[in-house]
A and B are shown apart, each in its own frame.
Chain A
């Protein structure tokens, strides 16, 4: 039997970036196919091609063996490809039944919507997927998981033959995940092909019949789930299992015993589970983990950007009872967010204004900002970190990514922290700027700061850090000194399935 949906040698290029290179893969009826890969591997591009948002530059898409062109999202939907996203694309204020039928409502007398029939049909559909949802309930009153179920039900009602689940479980509770999985089983039994995209490898292993791994836009592995063990899968995702890079630079010697930053039993939802670690002054600790392992969440919970549910945070030895960003900064902790655009820069302001934003109290006199002090501070950091800008008044958006990052780093330092957390500080900046950011980190450590850092590149993290704390599905799965260690040692820790991991 021909696969329901198939891509043959599909390529896609955006400017200088080759997002997909000759990708061929197939979805079969009644099969759950897992698509995995790190950020930037090309998963989103592939999904957008299958849902008609992008057109491929080359190659073919076949539906039931026939070549097709998905020239718009609607065309792809009409031909039976339905996608469910983590961000629910439904109308929260309207009823479940209305959301299932929107645009396809059963009518009476040619104009009036037959609500009774609509509710009854929705009810029947939901029951078939074992969902106890009142079709007249407001959609927004349901949990995220059930909203996703409604989205799936809508796809099925409109005749879906392929259901794409894009990161469906990232925000779900354990019970919701179970409901989702039962619905997927039913879809399978109904002969629908399912493409399951997830960062959570446990879920992929539990649910998928087949796994395909993308890296740098190419398919690097595709096999039945049973034939692709975790370590091999992760090796394929990161692409470096064969190499064995050893750390050469000797470890720094931390100065004092009192940690600059310490957490004990930190918990936040299911994403941070009992995480404990300590960063001493004068050392760099790397927080390692795959995407979705809880690196960013751990940092945010420590900083108070997310409200921790349990555990203790100590900054320079002093406990911070209920951390908020303001309290943490006051206690001597700084945090540089991974998302420069959304959580970092003020795009309409100048370099100087961006730099001074967190240090305003120190620069103020009687509530007015002293221009002189601000200029002095900006000049000091511009020199210390080598920020290349036309001048302190230049708009921040005129700077390169690396220099923007240095401005943000300077902003963190302006609060005179004892410890600093850098979430993927070199993401999206070029090689030269990376080296400069690394240099800046070394300067901080020499000044006696404790640094906690993450990176999406394992070698970079090993080169930067003295020690690694490895996270796996929200929990600490190991720790090691980087001096003399090989990348493979870390990969093994990343791969270990966690015993009470979310299914």
Chain B
């Protein structure tokens, strides 16, 4: 009797297939793109090149972790690109006091900006677009005001090693990227905080009715995003041995693009960290391949990324409609 009211098994199987494509499709595309690239470009599938891709992707990756949390929550964070610039400047300032302050000061600055954004969005009910756009402008201005003529980090010491050293023959930045995503996936799927983020993004009113502390979870999520962006800035400073106030321009949009390509729905409530990581790597791979073609201008990279983003959104829209 109850079986009659359950969805027909074939419909359910189709829905599961679609959900699988939505969450894991980007990984498949990434693998496919990597195979094609390695067949076409002999240098592509070398350890050295993979390291290049991974290292270059690590900064965007850290930012994309935070961005993914925020998008699943049902918002987005435009401040993260500027926070990379501010982070690298603050790291250059604080590195004379040791490697720990050089990491912590940018992270705390990002956390503070996230706190302000989060409070304005969650408590004052302002639109995430406006609040974080204001932060994008303000934080970039702050970074430029603070930056001195030369922000070269003369003696990076341990701080430089964090970004440029290796463990087990693999660049530390790649370790940070992978461990960061693994931890993020754990938090997202296996903690009450993560489940609450999904719940708020899925149906904010219902989440409130079900007793989820909506304001607190929102504020913490923006703080997390800001912290990770500040940290990414510090690591970029360490990597380049320099504070660069203009660093990270456009990373806020790239991180949104990476998450969306990875199957994180801009409408909130749906997404995976594995998908977001695939999106980050896919964007990195596009850049890498276009660099290898050699005679192509880097403008083509943006063109290709744009096309990928559009295709990803198109596929998502079609799949979502099918499932409904």
- Interface residues of chain A, those whose CB is within 8 Å of chain B, are 73-74, 77, 88-94, 98, 102-103, 105, 107, 111-113, 115, 130-133, 137-138, 141-143, 145-146, 154, 173, 175-176, 178-179
Known: A77-B211, A93-B269. 11 other contacts (CB 8 A): A73-B209, A89-B210, A90-B203, A91-B206, A91-B207, A111-B191, A113-B189, A113-B195, A137-B12, A145-B5, A175-B4
Q: Is the CB of B202 within 8 A of A94?
A: yes
- Interface residues of chain B, those whose CB is within 8 Å of chain A, are 1-7, 12, 15, 19, 186, 189-192, 195-196, 198-199, 202-203, 205-207, 209-212, 269-270
Give bound CA distance, A173 to B6, whole Å. 12
Main secondary structure of the interface of B (DSSP, over half): helix
Give bound CA distance, A145 to B196, whole Å. 24
Smallest Cβ-Cβ distance to B204: which chain A residue: A91
> Which of the residues A89, A92, A141 comes within 8 Å of B209, measured between beta carbons?
A89
Q: Is the CB of A113 within 8 A of B202?
A: no
> Which of the residues B5, B195, B211 comes within 8 Å of A98, measured between beta carbons?
B195
Q: Which residues of A contact B199 (CB under 8 A)?
A: 91, 94, 98, 102
Give bound CA distance, A427 to B207, whole Å. 34
Q: Which residues of A contact B190 (CB under 8 A)?
A: 112-113, 115
Q: Is the CB of A93 within 8 A of B206?
A: no
Q: Is the CB of A179 within 8 A of B191?
A: no
Closest Cβ of chain B to A97, distance in Å, is: 11
Q: Is the CB of B7 within 8 A of A143?
A: yes
Q: Which residues of A contact B6 (CB under 8 A)?
A: 132-133, 142, 146
Closest Cβ of chain B to A397, distance in Å, is: 23
Smallest Cβ-Cβ distance to B324: which chain A residue: A140
- A and B contact pairs by CB, cutoff 8 A, 10 listed: A90-B206, A91-B198, A102-B195, A130-B2, A138-B15, A138-B19, A141-B7, A142-B6, A142-B7, A146-B6
Give bound CA distance, A73 to B7, whole Å. 33
Give bound CA distance, A137 to B5, whole Å. 14
Closest Cβ of chain B to A460, distance in Å, is: 36
Q: Is the CB of B19 within 8 A of A112?
A: no
Q: Which residues of A contact B15 (CB under 8 A)?
A: 138, 141
> Which of the residues B5, B206, B207 comes within 8 Å of A143, measured between beta carbons?
B5
Smallest Cβ-Cβ distance to B7: which chain A residue: A141
Q: Which residues of A contact B12 (CB under 8 A)?
A: 137, 141
Closest Cβ of chain A to B214, distance in Å, is: 11
Q: Which residues of B contact A141 (CB under 8 A)?
A: 7, 12, 15
Closest Cβ of chain A to B224, distance in Å, is: 15
Give bound CA distance, A37 to B6, whole Å. 33
Q: Is the CB of A103 within 8 A of B209?
A: no
Q: Is the CB of B206 within 8 A of A112?
A: no
Closest Cβ of chain A to B183, distance in Å, is: 12
Smallest Cβ-Cβ distance to B270: which chain A residue: A93
Give bound CA distance, A132 to B195, whole Å. 24
> Which of the residues B2, B189, B205, B270 comes within 8 Å of A179, measured between beta carbons?
B2
Closest Cβ of chain A to B316, distance in Å, is: 13
Give bound CA distance, A179 to B4, whole Å. 10
